[in-house]
Chains A and B, each alone.
Chain A
Amino acid sequence: MTDHTGMTDRTDADTDRVLFARIGFGVLSTLAALTTLAAFTTLDLGSAAQPAPGFWVACVSVMTLLLVVAALLNPRIVLDEVSRISKSEASVVAQAVPLLVLAPSLLTTLGLIITTAIASCYWFAVVTRTGLVRSLIGAVAITVGIEVVFLELLQVPFPAGSWTGVR
């Protein structure tokens, strides 16, 4: 709901931004606390005179935890430079994530060339909503370019895909 001054929309956006920052810093605090706990419980700390592998990790993780908690407790710091992810942005990024997550498996099974073609086409057609013909042309152009630069010119020894036998 928005009144004629647009105040309600602004207030909603501010509330969302605060919530986003608090959740983000909450997650960061948890991760920093877990890292600190792991450093103290799983690594040998040694002593100041003979610092063991855990000594440095403990120092660094404690410092990070203190900073994250300090930020979480200070609204001025926690909100500084925060830019909430809008629904439309989240939707676009969510469409990109499956491709990125699957990329390592695609590379090992399908090989570099086919993966590049699929990834480019997906990015054009799904992530940036480009028309099908333009997506296909763009994907072919990028794949040929990658093949020429990495395989022909630089001779990078990429392994072949386990399913396709094609590099």
Chain B
Amino acid sequence: MDVLSNFAGGLELALSAENLLFVLLGVSVGMMVGVLPGLGPAPTVALLLPITFGLDSTTAIILLAGVYYGAMYGGTITSVLLRIPGEAASVVSTVDGHEMAKNGQAGRALGLAAIGSFIGGLVATACLILFAPALADFALSFGSPEYAVLALLGLILVSYTSAGTMTKSLIAVGIGLILATIGQDPMTGGSRWALGVPALLDGIDEVAVIMGLFGLSEILNNVADNRRRRSSIRNVGRVLPTGRDLRENAGAIGRGSVIGTGLGLVPGGGGVLGSLVSYGVERKVSATPERFGRGAPQAVSGPETANNSASISTFIPLLTLGFPPNGVLAVIFGALLIQGVTPGPTLIADHPEIFWGVVGSMVIGNVMLLIMNIPLVPLFVKIAEIPPEVLAALTVAILIVGAYSINGNAFDVGVMVAAGIAGYLLRRLGIPPAPIVLAFILGPIFETNFRRSLILSDGSFGIFVSSPVTVVLLIAAMTVLASAVLPKVRRARETIEAED
């Protein structure tokens, strides 16, 4: 009953005029971002951070969450019609989705993806409602060693699931952790590596770093593509799926919901991993696997369901453990900190309005997206044709103004620019930005709990294997490391990646 009444309260909060407006704004921006190739949900959420400064904390997170799951819906449109994934989680749909479009079934692909995403979104939201409070209660028993080991596991998992070799992702983690040490020592409050610069005494502003690493580096990375033009399939056809379509895809949508929801909980997981695994599973269980790659509807409905459900279930570790499992959630973590709210096990008890308001908004947002998706496809195709140079110029202007608006000083703009140029060069060296951001955000938490644990144990590292929770987490971390290092397992992983 508690859960139901809390959920009803959350729905009521999300249905207030202001929040309803920001749900609509969030999912609309998310759809556009999903449609526009080259600007993923993480850079956009980073771009929108300055806009949230003046908002109530619940409204701010409602807006940013809407952008994230809205992008999952939007990404399908360009994948199917243009064969260009608007964002990474929709890569899988470029194959079968576009094949369906070439066969005059674009509307069918988009309709199935929209309905699958809607169902997946609701399943993940239900899990958020049912399991998040229990997980938060469990996490209340965590001490410093558990948090330190959890941070370690999270960073290892994020490195494991990032693109490229794990060594490079771990280097990215190292860079993020080092950057996080600049400024105030989190335990003594003393200055560390401020280099006599007053603006560095409080450390590097995380919003400026995030905007640079995700936003500016993305723009610089794509700047050479600015004159490229795209052609699209304009004949969308019937979007609403038939009863037969739904029956044939019910299994794929059901499996996609479970896979996406589960993988969203894993650090480093989220939409990309969910859609890839769902595609692999659908091909394995299909009676006609030879149709995959030639326009199989289940190859669109399953992965698209999985990426949306994963984008919602990723909020469970953030809102219960205070642990951002991927880059987008790291930005939302930063947004909560700016609002004076520390994500963690006490968030649901201390700020129920944020948790239940966001949950309520997810239900409403998914309904809005379903309604918008089907009739507005032609409009979003037009958005995808916005000249990239216009988008790039607008983004650069927003980045400069947004970084300036953090504290009203130009130093943050300099930090954003430096992070952007460094991020661009690191990307070209194969070092991904997401682990840098996650490590930068998690760095102070990791350091504080690591040092506190050592003080508690009088310098004994045995404290990190002193409880069942830390042992399980360490075994998981070691297993992940071993699977990346052992050649046999590594080759198998590479084969799976190549197949996907």
Residues on the A chain within 8 Å of B165, using CB: 71, 76-77, 80-81
Are B171's CB and A123's CB within 8 A? no
Select B400's contact among A38, A89, A115, A145, beta carbons within 8 Å. A115
Q: Which residue of A lies closest to B414 (CB)?
A: A104
Minimum CB–CB distance for A47 against chain B, Å: 6
Given A49-B454, A142-B394, A149 contacting B408 (CB threshold 8 A): no
CA distance A80 to B164 in the complex (A): 6
Which of B264-272, B295-303, B309-317, B416-424 interfaces with chain A? Answer: B416-424
Interface residues of B: mostly helix, strand, loop or mixed? helix
Contact code string B43-83 (vs A, CB < 8 Å = 1, else 0): 00000001101100000000000000000000000000000
Q: Which residue of B lies closest to A86 (CB)?
A: B224
CA distance A74 to B166 in the complex (A): 13
Contact code string A112-135 (vs B, CB < 8 Å = 1, else 0): 100110011001100111100000
Are A57's CB and B178's CB within 8 A? yes
Residues on the B chain within 8 Å of A120, using CB: 393-394, 396-397
Are B425's CB and A24's CB within 8 A? yes
Contact code string A137-160 (vs B, CB < 8 Å = 1, else 0): 011001101100110001111110
Residues on the B chain within 8 Å of A115, using CB: 400
The interface size of chain A toward B, counting residues with CB under 8 Å, comes to: 78
B2 CB–A CB distance under 8 Å: no
Residues on the B chain within 8 Å of A101, using CB: 417
CA distance A71 to B307 in the complex (A): 32
Contact code string A37-77 (vs B, CB < 8 Å = 1, else 0): 01000110001111111011100110110011011001011
Residues on the B chain within 8 Å of A51, using CB: 451, 454-455
Minimum CB–CB distance for A143 against chain B, Å: 8
Are B178's CB and A61's CB within 8 A? yes
Are B181's CB and A123's CB within 8 A? no
Which of B151-188 touch A at CB < 8 Å? Answer: 163-165, 167-168, 170-171, 174-175, 177-178, 181, 185, 187-188
Residues on the B chain within 8 Å of A20, using CB: 428-429
Are B417's CB and A103's CB within 8 A? yes
B226 CB–A CB distance under 8 Å: yes
Residues on the B chain within 8 Å of A139, using CB: 393
Select B390's contact among A107, A119, A138, A156, beta carbons within 8 Å. A138
The interface size of chain B toward A, counting residues with CB under 8 Å, comes to: 63
A33 CB–B CB distance under 8 Å: no
Which of B433-458 touch A at CB < 8 Å? Answer: 447, 450-451, 454-455, 458
Select A112's contact among B185, B187, B404, B459, beta carbons within 8 Å. B404
Are A84's CB and B389's CB within 8 A? no
A18 CB–B CB distance under 8 Å: no
B401 CB–A CB distance under 8 Å: yes
Minimum CB–CB distance for B153 against chain A, Å: 16
Given A86-B224, A120-B393, A77 contacting B167 (CB threshold 8 A): yes
Residues on the A chain within 8 Å of B396, using CB: 96, 99-100, 119-120, 123
Which of B386-409 touch A at CB < 8 Å? Answer: 389-390, 392-394, 396-398, 400-401, 404-405, 408
Residues on the A chain within 8 Å of B478, using CB: none
Most B CB atoms within 10 A — which of A21, A49, A100, A158?
A100
Residues on the B chain within 8 Å of A154, using CB: 50-51, 53-54
Are B413's CB and A103's CB within 8 A? yes
Given A84-B428, A127-B223, A158-B405, A53 contacting B185 (CB threshold 8 A): yes
Minimum CB–CB distance for A25 against chain B, Å: 7
B488 CB–A CB distance under 8 Å: no
Residues on the A chain within 8 Å of B220, using CB: 93, 96
Residues on the B chain within 8 Å of A52, using CB: 188
CA distance A156 to B223 in the complex (A): 30
Minimum CB–CB distance for B179 against chain A, Å: 10
Select A55's contact among B193, B389, B451, beta carbons within 8 Å. B451
Q: Which residue of A lies closest to B175 (CB)?
A: A64
Q: 17 A-B pairs, CB-CB below 8 angstroms?
A: A32-B174, A61-B178, A64-B178, A82-B428, A82-B430, A89-B224, A100-B421, A104-B413, A107-B410, A119-B396, A123-B396, A127-B223, A127-B392, A138-B390, A145-B394, A155-B54, A156-B54
The 3 closest A-B pairs by CB, nearest first: A64-B174, A81-B430, A49-B459
* Chain A residues with a Cβ under 8 A of chain B: 20-21, 24-25, 28, 32, 35, 38, 42-43, 47-53, 55-57, 60-61, 63-64, 67-68, 70-71, 74, 76-77, 79-86, 88-89, 92-93, 96-97, 99-101, 103-105, 107-108, 112, 115-116, 119-120, 123-124, 127-130, 138-139, 142-143, 145-146, 149-150, 154-159
